[in-house]
Amino acid sequence: MLINPVVEYYSDLAYGTALVLYLIAMVLHAVEYSVGRVPVTTAAARVAVEGNGAVATLAPPDSEALRGKPERVGRSAVALTGLAVLVHAGSLALRGAAIGRVPWANMYEFISAICCVAVGCWLIALYRQRSAATLLRRLGVFVLLPVVVLMFLGGTVLYARAAPLIPSLNSYWITIHVSAAITATGILLVSGVASALYLVGAPAGSRIAARLPDITTLDRMAYRTAVVAFPIWTFAIMAGAIWAEAAWGHYWGWDPKETCALVAWVVYAGYLHARATAGWRGSPAAWINVVGFAVMLFNLFFVNIVVAGLHSYAGL
């Protein structure tokens, strides 16, 4: 299979451009986060007693009274993030066109696709929660930080030139199984960030926590994204087992990556159960979610790069 070097070049150029745009958007989000007003998040804090004894309700965070320069900076950051994810998706499409296959056959491509899904998930969550957009935008810097770090690593130490699929990957299952794994991992990145910030925001009196959305909002975002990702991750494991039977003659061989994927599934099942169980809601459930994403990262990096197994497709 011939590789189109011109298309590959433009794919790499779009990848680098998206990374720069994400970095600028992250800086703009950081500016809004650091200089913006502390959000009013409780009903009690939104009510003030006037001198004559009358009760006056303070303006909510999304009102025109609070829309100053930080507000415009935050909106610019979201717009720039939207542009970046379009350029990013374009880089993936060009990568696939350069070689005529799906663009997630090695670590560079896999990480790029995960980050694209994560940012897309973040923007969808922000759009669906328009009533609390000002509060949720403050999470932008924390969502984009791991994306920028992962894409920097992907574009440097993990970069691989476009190449044909190795024989063991040359199957239609790579489109089904790997795309499901990418989608679930990208969504769970957003969920993991929300739970980590929940743990930061739970203690009262922290300056960092004061500028975050209330912990109820963080908990809701972590839970809802995990609820979407969990069945996709379940499907990815099942599809992988079917592919393994076709390729290696057995559904499950306790390969390191299979084992880590199953451990992650168990942890996330535990999180969803804990989140719905009295006594485990709040910080205990958030810790389980953070542990789950830590297992996902371990599976992504350590198992793919360090441990030798049937899933050693890093392309390094």
What pLDDT score does 204 carry?
Answer: 58
What pLDDT score does 64 carry?
Answer: 45
What pLDDT score does 70 carry?
Answer: 79
Mean pLDDT of 214-224: 90
Asked if pLDDT for residue 47 goes beyond 50, the answer is no
Asked if pLDDT for residue 206 goes beyond 70, the answer is no
State the Cα–Cα distance between residues 220 and 191, nearest whole angstrom: 10
Query: pLDDT tens-digit profile of 95-116?
Result: 999 998 999 888 999 999 999 9
Lowest mean pLDDT: which of 5-19, 52-66, 132-146, 219-233?
Answer: 52-66
In terms of pLDDT, which residue wins out, 85 or 164? 85
Across the chain, mean pLDDT equals 84
What pLDDT score does 55 carry?
Answer: 41
Mean pLDDT of 269-279: 89
Residue ranges of domains in the chain: 5-306
pTM over 0.95: no
Residue 208, judged by CB atoms within 10 A of its CB (0-12, 13-18, 19+), counts as exposed
Instruction: Enter the tokens of residue 28.
Output: 């703009």
